[in-house]
Amino acid sequence: MAIMLILVLVIVVVLGVTDIRRSLISKPVFAVFKKILPPLSDTEREAMEAGDVWWDGELFKGKPDWQKLHAIPKAELSADEQAFMSNQVETLLAMLDDYKIVQEDRDLPKAVWDYIKSEGFFAMIIPKAYGGREFSAIANSTIVSRIATRSLTAAVTVMVPNSLGPGELLMHYGTQAQKDFWLPSLAKGTDVPCFALTGPEAGSDAGGIPDTGIICKGEFEGKEVLGIKLNWDKRYITLAPVATVLGLAFKLYDPQKLLGDKQDLGITCALIPTSHQGVEIGDRHFPMNMAFMNGTTYGKDVFIPIDWIIGGPDYAGRGWRMLVECLSAGRGISLPALATATGHLATRMTSAYGYVRQQFGMSIGKFEGVQEGMARIGGLTYTLEAMRVMTAGAIDLKLSPSVVTAIAKYHMTEMSRTLLNDAFDIHAGKAIQCGPMNYLAHGYMGVPISITVEGANILTRNLMIFGQGATRCHPYVLAELAAAANPDAEEGLKQFDKLLINHVGFAIGNTFAALWQGITAGAFNSAPVAGETVRYYKQLSRMSRALALSADISMLMLGGDLKRKEMLSARLGDVLSQLYIASAVLKFYEDNGRQQADLPFVHYSVQRALFEIGKAFDGFLVNFPNRVVARVIRTLVFPFGIGYKMPADDIAIAICTALAKPGVIRDRLTHLCYIGQAEDDATGLMEAAFSAMHKAQPLMKKIYQAQREGKLARKLPLLDSIAQALQLAVISEAEAAQLTEMNRLRFKSISVDSFKPGVLSAMAIKNQDAA
């Protein structure tokens, strides 16, 4: 007892007396910490510090406050935004013929270009004071999603000026003179913007941009002025072939020190009229057969005034910070909108096709093999819509949640790839024959574009989500990094000492809490709701604690090596991602009034997320370099094994049953899907056939009953059965006409396009001549 009392006293003195603690504990740990820090380049540091921590911070703490999640305002359209959706957007959709745009003209018709410009589709993010529409992020997202279900080319054309580019950068960083000059013309569409960042050897590694600007004096409008001599060679720039104003990112140097003492100023952004002497645009790329404008720009020894830097000379060298702070628009709005549109279209059309297409005497949607894929389509679409709304809602809170938007970009584009593969599998031959009747092909071609832009998905998953998330979202690591980087060593030690005690307490608390939650399987965790979703809140809290513990141990054991262990760290990023995905689904369910019909979709989405969390943890623990530590973590977190499983078959069947008939849940889940009104529109035709077959079911039952009773012959073609049933008065003339029309729609909807000899050759010649 005496020895224990002495030991406790020693611990109290060592930890409680600042000077002793700092000398015996903090100082040695601080020295080790500085050695194991992952080296950060300037661009990495700026990216790390940019943006906001939001719900991702709660998930990383190990004890998320679910009341905070529910308190986040529901993202909704204003009256003006809804009116724009009902009028301008619907008018635009009626003007689009996506097959003709992509396969024949390789461009939007002039009337469409004019309508987009004149009606403010390029001005959704521009303030009303400058002639813009000043729409919310959720409106921007919803409009792009709706258009994308009709035409990916039109959607990309609309989304780019409202994403990362001149408009966004001007509003955040532009001088008043730059705003007054450019924003009104951008809002009217008299100027078309593009932004050039990537090049042949500079994509993900923005710090490797080879394009340069040299500060010097030169002639502009007949006068000698201070300016920049530019050389650039850019690729993959959307709208570049038709742009009138070029946003350009380059490395800026000041060898003569005309701006100050620094010679290497860093990445800088400038706005340049494409009519300016030396600016070259016009060449087009042809991304995955899509017709949106994408191409090159280059210039050699192009002189521009120094005032063309976005923000003026004071923002020289601050371009990378500007860019990473504004990436939320592309990652959090535009690309998630495209991914969600894929889900809405695939769910609506595949559920209809599964009912209309018959094989072996029954709808193929009744086969369980098809239902497995259809459930995945429906479940992922529910997830996509939940993530779209929550992520855009964060941006409407005037936040720039860099980790959350990276999660959305990566996982939503991957989900769209998965569900489109399922849609193709179910549609089979109908999906692979390109033509006006194919509503899936262009979306399928466009998926790889979303996968690669705004940070390729491999980069986003392996470097950004956890690499940035572990630093930004952790309660203490970013502050500890700042203390270690403090040029005043003594002051840095003081800062670190205060943080260390809190961090140690945080880690110890997570260790015991993880063990308790592992033993009890999270049964005693609290939940903010009652009903069938209670267990999900409890399990997500449990996995949040497990993530906090695993991240701390990983950073402690691996230090700077964790940055290079991309496969390992990416799995922890997957855990954080799936926690966010499940959170979005649960919030979406609550915000929409806890609809009973939604429950199969909620169960599917959250159970899938938990399964993915378990799979990620298992991969992390199997591959953790220190096997003893891996065993300790597994024992603490999963003492009885990882019990998460993919959704059961009855959940999949419930989803398919809900989607196989007209109804509120099907309409709500696919409310953004364009349905054409003309009979020759592929989506309208499929929906018409689906509706007609449902309405005809009572009449078909009459025929089936007559066949069972022996009144009608079996296994006749349907039209012969209808004729025989009419002749024998089993059905009336009106009913026979209804069934005949239903059969016509059914057969036409499942048919595919074919082309007369010479038609495709003529199209190829036309396109060659146009090129």
- Residue 7's pLDDT is what? 55
Same fold flag, 79-188 and 193-325: no
> Could you tell me the maximum CA-CA distance found in the chain, to the nearest angstrom?
106
Stated pTM of the model: 0.93
Domain residue spans of the chain: 79-188, 193-325, 696-750
Nearest 10 degrees: Cα torsion 167, 172, 177, 179 = 30
Q: What's the average model confidence in pLDDT over 658-668?
A: 96
3-state secondary structure 93-118: HHHCCHHHHHHHHCCCCHHHHHHHHH
State the pairing for strand pair 245-253/193-196.
parallel
Do 495 and 518 contact (CB within 8 A), yes or no? Answer: no
CA 403 to chain centre: 12
> Which tops the pLDDT comparison, 489 or 232?
232
pLDDT band at 11 (very low <50, low <70, confident <90, very high): very low
Residue of 69, 141, 77, 76 lying closest to 590 (CA atoms): 69
Q: How many CB atoms lie within 10 A of CB 667?
A: 11
- Residue 425's pLDDT is what? 97
Q: Judge whether residue 14 has pLDDT over 50.
A: no
Euclidean distance between CA atoms 634 and 546, whole angstroms: 10
Query: For the chain, what is the radius of gyration of the CA atoms?
Result: 30
State the pairing for strand pair 264-273/280-284.
unpaired
Q: What is the token pair recorded at 333?
A: 């709005």
CATH architecture of 79-188: Orthogonal Bundle (1.10)
3-class secondary-structure state, position 182: helix
Q: pLDDT above 70 covers what percent of the chain?
A: 91
Give the model confidence (pLDDT) of 16-65 as tens digits: 556 666 676 667 766 766 665 555 556 666 666 667 889 999 998 899 99
The amino acid occupying position 5 is L
Handedness of CA 86, 89, 95, 98 (dihedral sign): negative
Cα angle vertex 325, ends 322, 328, to 5°?
A: 130
- Residue 10's pLDDT is what? 47
Catalytic residues: 454
Which neighbouring-strand residues pair with 453? none
Phi-psi region of 72 (alpha: psi -120 to 50; beta: other; left: phi over 0): beta
The amino acid occupying position 218 is G
Give the model confidence (pLDDT) of 70-110 as tens digits: 999 999 999 999 999 999 999 999 999 999 999 999 999 99
Cα angle vertex 654, ends 653, 657, to 5°?
A: 85
Give the model confidence (pLDDT) of 286-334 as tens digits: 999 899 999 999 999 999 999 999 999 999 999 888 887 777 667 889 9
Phi-psi region of 705 (alpha: psi -120 to 50; beta: other; left: phi over 0): alpha
* Residue 619: HSE in the Cβ half-sphere, 13 Å Cα cutoff: 17
Q: Judge whether residue 282 has pLDDT over 90.
A: no
Do 99 and 435 contact (CB within 8 A), yes or no? Answer: yes
**What topology is assigned to 193-325 in CATH?**
Butyryl-CoA Dehydrogenase, subunit A; domain 2 (2.40.110)
Q: Burial code of 188-218, b = ≥16 C-beta within 10 A, e = fewer?
A: bbebbbbbbbbbeebbeebbebebebbbbee
Give the model confidence (pLDDT) of 519-528 as tens digits: 999 999 999 9
Euclidean distance between CA atoms 194 and 279, whole angstroms: 13
- Residue 40's pLDDT is what? 55
Do 115 and 91 contact (CB within 8 A), yes or no? Answer: yes
Euclidean distance between CA atoms 285 and 275, whole angstroms: 21
3-class secondary-structure state, position 433: coil
Q: What's the average model confidence in pLDDT over 712-738?
A: 93
Q: 212 Cβ partners below 8 Å, 6+ apart? A: 230, 231, 232, 250, 251, 252, 253
Give the mean pLDDT of the chain.
90
CA 127 to chain centre: 25
DSSP string, 672-692: T----SSTTSHHHHHHHHHHH
Euclidean distance between CA atoms 113 and 154, whole angstroms: 9
Q: Burial code of 730-764, b = ≥16 C-beta within 10 A, e = fewer?
A: bbeeebbebbbebbebbeebbeeeeeeeeeeeeee
pLDDT band at 207 (very low <50, low <70, confident <90, very high): low
pLDDT band at 13 (very low <50, low <70, confident <90, very high): very low
* CA distances from residue 238 to 318, 514, 558 in whole angstroms, order as listed: 23, 48, 41
Task: Give backbone dihedrals phi and psi of 69, rounded to 5 degrees, phi first.
Answer: -60, -50
